[in-house]
Structures are given as C-alpha cells and as structure tokens.
Structure 1
Amino acid sequence: MPLRLSFSAELTALLTFFSLLGAAQSCLGIENPAVKYCLVLGYQYIGTADSSGNAQGYCRLPDNSLVEAWAFFQGMTGQQYSYCASKGLRTETRTRAHPQGFTTRRAVCIADENLPGMKAGTELDLLDLLQSKGKEFIQLSPRQAPLNAVSPKSEQFNEIPARMLIETFDWRDQDQHSYIGPVRDQGACGDCYAFGAAAAAETAYNIRHHRYDENTVDFSESFIAWCLGAYGPYSEHFSGCNGADYEYAELDALTREGVTLELNFPYTEEDPGSCTHNNDPVHIFSGWGRIPPNDTAGIKKAIMKYGALDAAIFAPADFIFYSGGLYSDGQTECPDGAWTETNHAVALVGWGKDAVTGEYWILRNSWGVGWGENGYMKIAMKAARVACATAFLQYTPPAYFPPIPALYLLRKK
C-alpha cells in the first residue's frame, strides 16, 4: 500500500524540508535535495560509491526496494511511495528542454479523479504547490556583509597572458589524467561550503604533487565543518550543517589550521558533539585569494594556475533539476560585487565552448552522480552568479611550483 499521510502533516514536513534547503540568514548551504526528500518521507537513505569512487545515493522504500535518490525525487521511479501517492495523486516526470540550451527533469502530481479542492486532470508541480502556500522551496537570504567589511583578498592574474588562454581546459583530462577526485555527496547536511573548499584544496595539492586518477588526495569535509567550524575557531563563520557566511573563512582556516585526510575523519552528517581529531596530522595551505567579480579571464587563469576554484552561486529550481546541456539564466550581474546574494557552494574545474550556446564553466556539485551530468554541469560563464564570488587555494608559493600540466601545455603551443 502507498504511504498515506494527512495533508497538514505532510505539507508541514515538506515545507520544513524546503525551508531547510536554504541556510540560516546570511548563510549559504543547500543540502542534497534528493536525500532530504527521501528522509522527510520517512525512508532510509543509503550512500554508496561506484567502482570509480563516485558517490551514489539510494532510497530504501517500504517494500524494501532500493531506488536511485534523484530518480525518486524526480518522479521516475518508486511512484507508489512518492509524496504524490500520499495525497492519492499519480506521479509523472516532466522533462523540459529550455530555449537556452539545457534540460530539466522534475516530478508532477496528477489527479485522476475529483478530489476535495482538486478536479480530475489537475496537474501540479510539487514545488509550485508548496510556493502557492506562501513558502519558497529555497529560503533565499540576502548576503549581508559585516560592518565595514571589505572584499577579502582579490588578486589579478597576470602570470598567464590572456592571449595564451586556450579554448577548452579541464582538470579531469590533462594528458589523459584526472587531477580531480570522485564526485562527492554532502547528503542531508548544509555543508556545501566544506565540499567547495575541499575540492579546491585537493586539486591544489594534487597539482603540486602530481597525483592523479586513483591516487588523488581525499581531504575530510567533516574536519572542515566540525573541527574548524562548529567546534573550532571559525564557528562564527561556518558551522557543521548550518551553512557558512560569505567571507570564505573556510579557505582562510585551511591556511592557518589545515585539514586532515578523509581516512582520519570520515564524512558524517551527524553532529559529533565535539571534535576528537585535533591531533590528527594536517596539511596546511600557504595562501588563498579571490578573483574580482565577473573577471572570466581571471577565473580561467586561476583555474589553470591553482586548480579547482571554490565558487558561490545562486541556485534556483532550474539549477536543482538540471539534467543536461548548457545551463543559463538571467542572473549574470554582481550588483553588490563580492557580496552579491548566493545560496550554494560548488567547484569550477575547467571551461569549454559550445558552437551554439557559447562558453561555459565545468561545475562540480556535491550532490552525487545522480544529479546533472554525472554530478557535473556545464554552466554559462556568468549564469547563476557563478562569476561573482570565486576563490582559490595555494598549496605552496608559485615560485616553488614544479612545472604543472596546464602551464606545460601552454609552453608547448
């Protein structure tokens, strides 16, 4: 039998779910929506990894079957146990091809018979239904800078002349090697900031030590979230699953306190109550900095020089339900500079160019491989405010870098 809940109880739970997708005021930190959906409906979420180490997530339904979490959230499987089914509605998936050149995939609830307040044939998008009740599916709080705040550490990148920037670049494919580790899954925890910081740290480290493919380093996101944040010296800036502010303090923390390996402190969404890993060995980074807002050439140069960038974005519904193509929207300006409103943190690992839709960044999310294009997105250069707040980590001073693949490729041209 399908799970059936009262309308008020289920609506309250789902409204809580979508309000939790946004972080607290002045913070960014969207949870993995597919994981949260599974848990809110009372089901078990099981995180695993494929043969390459990429994170995959499954929802265990009442009949004990396992369904891929994003496919379930998008209405593609397990329909009899969906939110729609709990309301006596049928679930279908709607795939939309957007004129900008990308596709989205999301679930709708359909009434096959007359129901109280709903005629047969009525089709409702779950998120639209929730919005009609006066709740945004994501709580968007303005970026609020501290009093007398200044944009932290912006740096111009002149080491690589703009004329030498190549048309496409991807840290997943340098001389047929990947300097990027597997796709991660933050689960039902608003610590995307830790995953953005860890991605930047890992690639900076991998480049410096020529570690690639199965030998890439894996730093502990939980150490960042709990030991440096919630129970550490940076708790006023970022804290466990409660998101982070907009000062990129997590990057500053890696230059002062360092980060340990995932092996020492495996990922946990549960509040540990304290940090018991303060004596674990750590890797300390030598510097960090921002790229000026909307400086696409500077972002490219920083990616080539330092590796993946930690980037803050503004993620609307179409971003969440992105399933392929080159994502684009109208959120291209940075009216408040480095303090322009954002709500999620990701990593930029390269760029490319589409003959029809133009240039794009290669964005790495932390919602598992079930999201987007196997955990990645092609995003237009200024869409979702992706170019407003980007930052890099430096593992050693540039003067001591050995030749790295990106600069080596430039010298060969």
Structure 2
Amino acid sequence: MGLLCHVENLLALLFTVLAVSFASTVEYEERAAREGWLRSEQEMKWLYEEWAVEHDKSYSEQGEKEKRFQVFKENLRFIDEHNRPENNHTSTVGLNQFADLTDEEFRALYLSAPINVSAAPSPPVTSRYAPMAGQVLPYTVDWRTWGAVSRVKNQGTCESCRAFATVATIEGLNKIVTGNMVTLSEQELVDCDQRNQGCQPGYIQFTYDYVVRNGGIDTDWRYPYTGVQGMCRPNRARAVRISSYERVPNYNEYALRRAVANQPVSVTIEAHGRAFRFHRSGVFTGECGTSIDHFVTVIGYGREYNGIDYWLLKNSWGPSWGQGGVGMIQRNFGGAGKCGILIQSVYPVMRRWTPSDADGEGTRSSE
C-alpha cells in the first residue's frame, strides 16, 4: 500500500509539473498572439537550424535533434519574453551555445556544485587593498584598454573555470608589470594541479598555489587547451611567475574596487540562472543568490548610462556569451554582492609590483 501511494504521489507531481509547463507555454502563446509577436514554428525551426550550424551542433542519436529543438524553443520563448521592452530589464539576453540545454543539463555540464570556500585554506588578507580614508579611486576602469586582457577563451564542458580565472589574472598582472601580454596555459593547471581534480570542481586557491610552487606557468601555445585532463607534461616551461597570491577582504565592495583599479581579480559567483546563462548586453541585475558555482575575472568597473554601477566580467564561456565573452553585473548591491561576487576575491602578486591608488595603472619597484 505504501509503495502504491508513493507511486501515485509521484505521478500526481509529474502531472502537476507538466500542467504548469503547458499552462505557461499556452499563456505565452496566447499573449504573443494577442500582441502580435509570436514566432511561427517555421521561424523557430529556421532559427534552430541556423543556430546549429553556427555552433557546430550535430546529434547522432535518433530523435535527439527533435528533443533538442523542443528545449531550444523553450529557451527562445524565455529570451523573447525577457527582452520585451515593457518588462524593463536592465540587460538583454540572446541565443548562445547553451540554447539546446535544459537548466539542469547546463548546471551539470558547465558549473560546479555550490562551492564551499571555507573547505580549502584561505589565501591571506593583507592591507594592500584595504579601504583608506580620503582615497580617490578611478571613476571607471577597463583593463582591456591597457591591453591587460587576453582573448576570451572557452572552457567547454570541462569544469575548469578556476583555471581560466587564475590565468586571466596572471596574464593581466604580467602585462601591467612587464608591458608584455603573454597568454598562458589553463591546460597545465588542469593536468598538473594535483590538489584539484582536472575537470572536476575545485578550489582557486590551489591553482594559484600550484603556480607559486611550480615556479611559474607555461604559455598556451606550448601547452594548448584540450578540455580534458591529460598527463602532466614534464618539459613544460615557466613563462610567467608569481611570488604569492592574496584575498580581498570579504564582503567589501570598496576593497574589491580598489583591487580592480590596480589589477584584474578572480571572483566567485552564482551563475546558474537562465538570465545569466543567456546574458547578452546591459547590466545584469536579475535574480540570483549566493550559492556560488562559477569563477570569473573582474577586469573593470564603471557606471552605465542609466546610472547603474557595474563590475566588468571576463567569462570563460567563449565569445557568444555577453559582448564577445565579457559582461556587466550590478555593483554596489550590498551584502555578499550581486550573485555572491564579494564572497571570495583573489589576485596574484609579483615581487616587482607596487599598486597605484590613483589611476588604475601599475607602478614598479625594485625587488
């Protein structure tokens, strides 16, 4: 009897979910038809075929293409609804390589389980970027204008975002200190950082610590990215070195702003929301919590024309996310920051580096 009741309850729950999903789809279609913005099945099919070619999508299993088309349509409906002007969103969303994935599939393939930052040794916090009385910081910073941001890269389905965020900060600092932009190897961190487990979720402290202990990191042209864990190469070079790494004081917007005024900084965020997954332009102010599951790099900050303060993020999801792989997220949100961006912020240190507090540009000192 207990088993029968359990099965009946599960069936009732399934029917409820299907009914809600069907009702929301019908509501969307009825409203769209009334207001004249419903896409036809033919148009959605055409968009799907065009999207599949653009993102090199092919499906070998029977029925898989049609299944993915149904998911694509649901995501397209979300995008159309979000972008309607009367919804007054501060950002737009658009199709990208994730458009044939359900929310659950996206989280499983591209994000970590919620990251417990206290489970690994915490990087030291110093006074380097602590708030200072009377200090004036640059109104806006964009490290791309200084050539301190390399091309946007794509982690693929390897959960190696920590490696990409670590590398981006080291590339940026090296450019600021030496004047040379050297693109570095995320694959070395995937293969050789033994305390993290390759393409499994891990801790960014360990990736920085690997670079320090290894005496540097190789270039990406010598040690290119494959997106799968392989054997650690014994003949790898040490093209760029760091002396240590530190953490920005937690939950402190001003301290993070001061740090970013001097160098790119890696941060953790909650990234599994659909509006963030399909982010295209504008400042993201959508719903998100603090169940952090992704690492990105803050490469600047500023204020949008509509008065919203933002952080400028370099992601590792390729150029179809955001504006060529870069997006804006709300700043001065309070608490843990928008999507938990203030929970853990880490940056590399070089011995020859002394931060400048006035202009967002680095200065050098003798060792």
Fold-level match, TM-score > 0.5?
Answer: yes
Does the 8 Å CA contact 2:130/2:249 hold for their aligned counterparts?
no
* Match runs of 1:282-361 below 5 Å: 282-305=239-262, 307-315=263-271, 316-331=273-288, 341-361=291-311
Match of 2:183 among 218, 231, 242: 218
**Where does residue 15 of structure 1 map in the other structure?**
none
The alignment-based identity, stated in percent, is: 22
CA–CA distance in 1 between the matches of 2:68 and 2:54? 18
Distance 2:307 2:67 in 1: 36
After TM superposition, the score normalised by the length of structure 2 is 0.68
**Structure 2 counterpart SS, 1:138:** helix
After TM superposition, give the deviation of residue 89 of structure 1 in Å. Answer: 8.0
Give yes or no for contact 2:113–2:201 (8 Å, CA) kept in 1: no
What is the alpha-carbon distance in structure 1 between the residues aligned to residue 299 and residue 149 of structure 2?
Answer: 8
Aligned AA (2:269): I
Q: Which has the higher strand share?
A: 1
- Is the Cα contact below 8 Å between 2:330 and 2:338 reproduced in 1? yes
Does 2:156 align with 1:190? Answer: no
Distance verdict in 2 for CA 1:145–1:349, change over 3 Å: closer
- For the pair 1:173 / 2:145, whether they are aligned, the reply is yes
- Other structure's SS at 1:289 match: strand
Segments of 5+ residues of structure 1 without an aligned counterpart are 1-62, 74-79, 108-124, 230-234, 333-339
| Residue number in structure 1 paired with 2:348 | 393
Measure how far apart 1:159 and its partner are.
Answer: 8.5
1:103 is aligned, of 83, 92, 99, to 92
- 1:152 paired with 2:123, answer yes
Q: Distance in 1 between matches of 2:72 and 2:91?
A: 32
CA distance in 2, matches of 1:284, 1:105: 39
Deviation at 1:343, TM superposition (A): 0.6
For the Cα contact (< 8 Å) 1:256–1:285, is it kept in 2? no
TM-score (normalizing by structure 1): 0.61
Q: 1:85 to 1:355 in 2, by over 3 A?
A: closer
Shift of the 194–369 alpha-carbon distance from structure 1 to 2, 3 Å rule, reads: same
SS at 1:252 equivalent? helix
1:300 shift after superposition: 1.6
Residue by residue over 1:298-353, the C-alpha shift from the partner in whole angstroms, topping out at 9 and shown as x without a partner, is: 11211222x21111111022111111110013547xxxxxxx63111111000010
Cα distance, 1:161–1:347 mapped onto 2, change above 3 Å: farther
| Residues 1:103 and 1:288: Cα distance change in structure 2 (over 3 Å) | same
Quick one: structure 1 residues 166 and 92, their matched pair in 2 at CA, closer, same or farther if it must change by over 3 Å?
A: closer
What is the CA distance between 1:371 and its match in structure 2?
1.1
Q: What are the Cα deviations for residues 345-396 of structure 1, in whole angstroms up to 9, with x where unaligned?
A: 1110000102424210100011111111111101112221112211111122
Return the letter of the residue paired with 2:293: N
Q: For residue 363 of structure 1, give the secondary structure of its aligned residue in structure 2.
A: strand
Deviation at 1:207, TM superposition (A): 0.5
CA contact (8 A) 1:327 1:383 kept: no
Which residue is equivalent to 2:213? 256
Decide whether aligned partners of structure 1 residues 205 and 137 sit closer, same or farther in structure 2, where only a CA change above 3 A counts.
closer
Local SS of the residue matching 2:261: helix
AA matched with 1:395: M
Q: Is the 8 A contact 2:91 2:279 kept in 1?
A: yes
Residue number in structure 2 paired with 1:10:
none
Aligned length: 292
Please tell me whether the aligned partners of residues 101 and 357 of structure 1 are also in contact (alpha carbons under 8 angstroms): no
The equivalent of 1:199 in structure 2 is: 168
The structure whose Rg is larger is: 2
User: Partner residue of 2:29?
Assistant: none
Instruction: Check whether the contact 2:300–2:311 (CA below 8 A) recurs between aligned residues.
Output: yes
Instruction: State the AA in 2 paired with 1:171.
Output: W
Please say if residues 137 and 358 of structure 2, whose CA atoms lie closer than 8 Å, have aligned partners that are also in contact: no
C-alpha separation in 2, matches of 1:376 and 1:297: 22
